[in-house]
Structure 1
Amino acid sequence: MTDQLHPDLRGSLWSALLSIATSSSTLICCALPALLVAIGAGATLAGLVSAVPQLIWLSTHKAVVFGGAGVMLAIAGGLQYRARLAPCPADARLAAACMRARRASLAVYVISLAIFGIGVFFAFVLPGLG
């Protein structure tokens, strides 16, 4: 199906998927450790960090993680904006697939923004409140 989509729409779909992956890294970096400590699962967090020591790098370099995710979200947002008026095929079946892909791409992008917002809250807002 994706090989018959307009290039603008195909790019927005892939960028939305990449943006959800990068914004998910903000949750792993900051929200997951805060949640585990908040529910009293500090030992679980210690076990997780010993099993996956890269989590420490993500936490200590959260500015890089959030900066990269923010740039990716900005690019995905620009591609979403550009693709909103991209033409769909004249064939009814392909046009329906095109519209489904457009809606799916937008939904993934909005979910990415929500995930990024949750990560920002746990990484930057919540520590300032305490």
Structure 2
Amino acid sequence: MNKRYFANLITLLSSSSTLICCALPALLVSIGAGATLSAAVTIFPKIVWVSENKELIFGFSGAMLFISGIVQYRSRNMACPIDQREACRSTRAASKWIYLLSLGLYLVGGFFAFIAPIIFS
């Protein structure tokens, strides 16, 4: 049970990095907050590295999503221990929502990283 939850949390973390590299800068510029983006790059200069290596970031995130999806799928019908049944069910439900949130973040980041530049250029 802990492996699935851990895999989903790592997936959420890696999917969030796709937002940092691509969706957040696009959002800030589109709402006219370019100065805020400039200040963020000044405070966190490694954000530029993440943006420059977005293919690597998306590849790693996609692999983590795939592994987490397999773990999620394989453990969906596993029996819960009798003494921890309620905790097991709530963890299973939380893992499912974390996975779906991760998938959504990945898709939003992917749109802003790869599709939006083609559409809006």
**TM-score, with length taken from structure 1:** 0.90
**For 1:28-74, what per-residue CA distance to the aligned partner results, in whole angstroms no more than 9, with x for missing partners?**
00000001100111111111101101110000000000001000001
Aligned to 2:113, which of 123, 126, 129? Answer: 123
Query: How many percent identity over aligned positions?
Result: 47
**SS at the partner of 2:82?**
coil
Query: How many Å separate the matches in 1 of 2:99 and 2:11?
Result: 7
The runs of 4+ residues in structure 1 deviating greater than 2 Å are none
Aligned to 2:102, which of 109, 112, 115? Answer: 112
Aligned to 2:8, which of 4, 16, 20? Answer: 16
**TM-score, with length taken from structure 2:** 0.96
CA shift, 1:119, in A, is 0.3
- 1:28 aligned partner: 20
Correspondence 1:1-130 to 2 at 5 A: 9-91=1-83, 94-130=84-120
Query: How many Å separate the matches in 2 of 1:15 and 1:41?
Result: 35
CA shift, 1:96, in A, is 1.2
Q: Which has the larger radius of gyration?
A: 1
CA RMSD, aligned part only? 0.7
Unaligned runs of 5+ in 1: 1-8
Query: How many Å separate the matches in 1 of 2:78 and 2:2?
Result: 10
Query: How many Å separate the matches in 1 of 2:55 and 2:106?
Result: 13
